[in-house]
Structure 1
Amino acid sequence: MISPTVTIKPILLPNALNVQVDMLMLNELHPLISGNKYFKLLYNISQAQAQGATTLVSMGGAYSNHLVALAVAGYTQGFKTKAYIRGEKNEVLNSHLSICAQHNMELEYVSRTVYATLRNNYTPQNPNEYWIPEGGGNALGAVGCEHIPKFTLLNTITAHYNFDINSTTPTNELFTNNYYNYCVCACGTGTTLAGIIRALQHTQVHTLGIQVLKGNNYLTNELIQKYNITPCALWSINEDFHCGGYAKTPTYLTEFVQQQSVVHNVALENIYTGKMLYAVHQLLHQNYFKPNSRILLIQSGGVH
């Protein structure tokens, strides 16, 4: 069951500019279909149902939160699910793949070379298959993520039940009346960021993406070319806090995440949300944000 409410928690990061920081706890939506994964799947599952597909197919690494969400969502919605897993099979499944298997997901292990080929050129094997790219990173995933700011309330977020869609819900007044000045999220594929940018395009809120992978301008180019996001002053991507690259966890990051998790009683991990909070912490010290502004951080889930 998808929770009808999630909380917005204050994050007390000392700064000289009286900047208020809050965190939208999307991980509270569901223990396994959590955070942005739920929104990325929302329209993809709806489209699969409309096409009469019976099997949802995707791909990911052995610790993919996307695959966990897909397995559980597909199971609850009556779909078969299949995933191509990058790398060799271990004798004992890890916690992520165990959840996938428990929800009847078919797991096929492929080499990195084959994986790269599938990622770039996958063709459904039969008409009953519906393909969802790695990480849920497609146009429908971005459309689903437009709902993240639309459903933001001061203390709660109203979510869809059972993947029903209500696309007419307006962007919440906390953004349109400029209660929040910044919306910040961690970025891998850029799908979540693209959806949030679109949802806030008629407000004065600045959307800031914290890139968790190495690479100059790759994510900016992805937003422009893949998601048709127009460059403007109301969104930006910071590339300085990948901490060595995707899934790299230097000691200073690990210690920061552990400390902040305890201090604020929030679920964080080192790959996405921890890097986002670390980036904001550093940017506050660099006086990046305007004085007296309010920032909403997106806790995008993925903590099991």
Structure 2
Amino acid sequence: MPIQIPHWRPEAPLQKLTLPWLEAAGVELACLRLDLVDPLVSGNKWFKLAPYLEQAAAIGAQGLISLGGAHSNHLHALAAAGQRFGFESVGLLRGEVQQTPTVDDLQRMGMQLHWLGYGGYRARHQPDFWTPWLARYVGFQVVGEGGLGLQGARGCSCLLAMAEAQLADIGWPDFDAWWLAAGTGTTLAGLLLAEQRRQVFGAQAVPSGHGVASQVATLLNEAGASGRSFQLIEAARAGFARLDEPLHQFILETEQASGVPLEPVYTGKALMALRDFCKSGQLARGSRLIFIHTGGLQGRRALMGASADYTQV
């Protein structure tokens, strides 16, 4: 059965955060809680997926096929959306067969999985990579790794209006800048497509060699918006999806102080990078920032222990 366009337009609340290091720096922070839009189709993932679903419906596609790792938030949200909205989903996974909490969920939600090994996964950028898969899954819509692509970016442009509509609710006439984690740079690019005047900071959750800057530049160029400026901040620490003890402690302390759950791959690192940015005096006192909580709480389970049930944080 061809995909039907879901009539679901989630909204995320804007919540002010009060933390000691923010007060010391004289900086105000509000969090756009994308983690609250849904327990499974969570965070920025839906906003990146929605345009692909619209395209799939327009061409009469049977399902969606994408890539990711054994802990992928993107595949998790895709599988959950497929289960909820009644379309088939296929995941091509990095590495060898393994069972993780995420993989367990993907299987339970009905996603068809194929393990590519590491060499096979590295071939995903080759021009003929998708040919055999689309021959096997005829009529499926391809979605880039992590939702990467101009469609995914455009799906995130609505976050600007979503936040601006709630400024009066938190007593802000305006704000100065955005702060968010960057993995593929898709959400960052989408925000830049909408934002005309405020500063945008992307905290790189991946090492600098992963090409976030070039990916964002490519997306902006494709959209005819190559003049938009942004600043990338190093936040990968020991590497992608690595959890060291200072980060672990920061997450626990911040959650206790704010009541906002974090995970160590993206949101924890991004907020820790903002703390360090504030401590180094790189933001003027009186600055107001919006931090985008990009979700991904299901990833807590693998890195923060079996007790870290993301549905109960």
TM-score, normalising length from structure 1? 0.85
Q: What does 1:213-228 align with in structure 2 at a 5 Å threshold?
A: 213-215=206-208, 218-228=211-221
Pick closer, same or farther for the CA change 1:15–1:8 going to 2, 3 Å: closer
Instruction: Please list every run of 5 or more consecutive structure 1 residues that lacks an aligned counterpart in the other structure.
Output: 156-171
Cα offset for 1:301?
A: 0.3
Is 1:11 matched with 2:21?
Answer: no
Amino acid corresponding to residue 179 of structure 1 in structure 2: D
Cα offset for 1:214?
A: 1.2
Q: What is the percent sequence identity of the aligned residues?
A: 30
Cα offset for 1:74?
A: 1.8
Residue 97 of structure 1: aligned partner? 103
Distance 1:230 1:291 in 2: 31
Cα offset for 1:118?
A: 2.8
Distance 2:262 2:24 in 1: 25
Residue 31 of structure 2: aligned partner? 23
Amino acid corresponding to residue 102 of structure 1 in structure 2: R
Match of 1:82 among 82, 90, 93: 90
Amino acid corresponding to residue 239 of structure 2 in structure 1: G
Is 1:230 matched with 2:222?
Answer: no
Residue 71 of structure 2: aligned partner? 63
Question: Contact conserved, 1:86 with 1:110, CA < 8 A, in 2?
Answer: yes
Q: What does 1:28-67 align with in structure 2 at a 5 Å threshold?
A: 28-67=36-75
Distance 1:302 1:57 in 2: 20
Residues paired across the two proteins, number: 280
Cα offset for 1:16?
A: 4.2
Is 1:283 matched with 2:277?
Answer: yes
Match of 2:193 among 182, 194, 198: 198
Match of 2:142 among 122, 125, 131: 131
Distance 1:6 1:243 in 2: 29
Residue 177 of structure 2: aligned partner? 182
Instruction: Please list every run of 5 or more consecutive structure 2 residues that lacks an aligned counterpart in the other structure.
Output: 1-7, 299-313
Cα offset for 1:4?
A: 4.5
Give per-residue Cα distances to partners, 1:81-111, cap 9 Å, x unaligned: 1111112223xx3221222112211011111
Amino acid corresponding to residue 266 of structure 1 in structure 2: V
Match of 2:262 among 259, 268, 273: 268
Distance 2:233 2:286 in 1: 21
Give per-residue Cα distances to partners, 1:111-131, cap 9 Å, x unaligned: 111111134432322541110
Residue 249 of structure 1: aligned partner? 243
Secondary structure of the corresponding residue to residue 261 of structure 2: coil
Question: Contact conserved, 1:9 with 1:25, CA < 8 A, in 2?
Answer: no
Amino acid corresponding to residue 292 of structure 2 in structure 1: I
Match of 2:116 among 110, 117, 139: 110
Question: Contact conserved, 2:76 with 2:102, CA < 8 A, in 1?
Answer: yes
Cα offset for 1:291?
A: 2.0
Hey, which of these two has a bigger chunk of helix by percent? 2
Pick closer, same or farther for the CA change 1:250–1:127 going to 2, 3 Å: same
Cα offset for 1:9?
A: 3.4
Amino acid corresponding to residue 246 of structure 2 in structure 1: Y
Distance 2:254 2:25 in 1: 20
Amino acid corresponding to residue 56 of structure 2 in structure 1: A
Distance 2:161 2:273 in 1: 25
Backbone CA RMSD of aligned residues: 2.2
Residue 148 of structure 1: aligned partner? 159
Is 1:292 matched with 2:283?
Answer: no
Distance 1:277 1:24 in 2: 13
